Amino acid sequence: MFIGHFAPAFVARAVTDEAPRLGTLFIAAQLIDWAFFTFAIFGVEHMRIVPGITAMNPLDLYHMPFTHSLLGSLVFAIGFGVLVFAMSRNVSAATWAAVVVVSHWFLDLLVHRPDLTLAGGDHKIGLGLWNAPQIAIPLELGITLLAFWWYWRRTKGPIVPPLVLIGTMLVFQAINWFGPQPVEAGIGMYVLALVSYGILTALAYWLDETRWHKSLVGLAVASARR
């Protein structure tokens, strides 16, 4: 799953203006993969390319005990929540940030083959929807577009920035699904993944600068900017 991970970020920002900024929530949504690809660069965690390992991609994510275990995800979630609280002094913002971080593991559970763990052990789980594109593709598009639509309806602002963000997300996802598949796992692939997350995060911060929550009115809009 790629852009589907951002659905909880849109939902959190739609629910309440007390949630962190959308860009911060985008970081939270992909924090587990930010960490995984960084760890992969330094040889802490590992993946390889095995053509045909799933119907939708050739990724054999065979060693991810720290980032893609449920325990590890919870540790990242708590750590990110603490960081958000330290910066905002807002318990609600910290809680939403932590929830978005840990949502990553549960969304991965739907699509990954058995390569996720509960606590980094040998027993691996995953429902494997990457082997059922007729389910995985509508599911990812559906949750992303529905969450984006809710965010759009719950906020006010110019129309162009949200369209730029969602359009870029859909282009990146199309490349991920239908573009050339990687033939070798290596630093170039890992950096490309990190760059794609960085671009979407930057666009999310930009978008959030142009919109405000409908619960805010008048002068409250200016004072609510964080």
Mean pLDDT for the stretch of residues 9-22: 96
Mean pLDDT for the stretch of residues 91-114: 98
> b vs e for 1-16, b when ≥16 Cβ sit within 10 Å of the residue's Cβ?
bbbbbbbbbbbbbbee
User: Is residue 64 pLDDT above 70, yes or no?
Assistant: yes
Whole-number pLDDT of residue 175: 96
Contacts of 155 (CB under 8 A, 6+ apart): 13, 14, 211, 212, 213, 214
Mean pLDDT for the stretch of residues 75-85: 98
User: Is residue 129 pLDDT above 70, yes or no?
Assistant: yes
Whole-number pLDDT of residue 27: 98
The gap from C-alpha 181 to its chain's centroid, in whole angstroms, comes to 21
> What confidence tier does 215 reach under pLDDT thresholds 50, 70, 90?
confident
pTM: 0.93
Mean per-residue pLDDT over the chain, rounded: 94
- Determine phi and psi for 65, rounding to 5 degrees: -70, -25
Q: Which two tokens stand for residue 119?
A: 């606590």
Whole-number pLDDT of residue 224: 45
- d(CA 78, CA 50) in angstroms, rounded, equals 34
CB-based burial label for 104 (10 Å; 0-12, 13-18, 19+): buried
Mean pLDDT for the stretch of residues 159-165: 97
The secondary structure of residue 192, as a DSSP letter, is: H
User: What are the Cα distances from residue 22, in Å, to 26, 57, 97, 136, 219?
Assistant: 6, 29, 10, 25, 21
User: Is residue 222 pLDDT above 80, yes or no?
Assistant: no
Contacts of 167 (CB under 8 A, 6+ apart): none
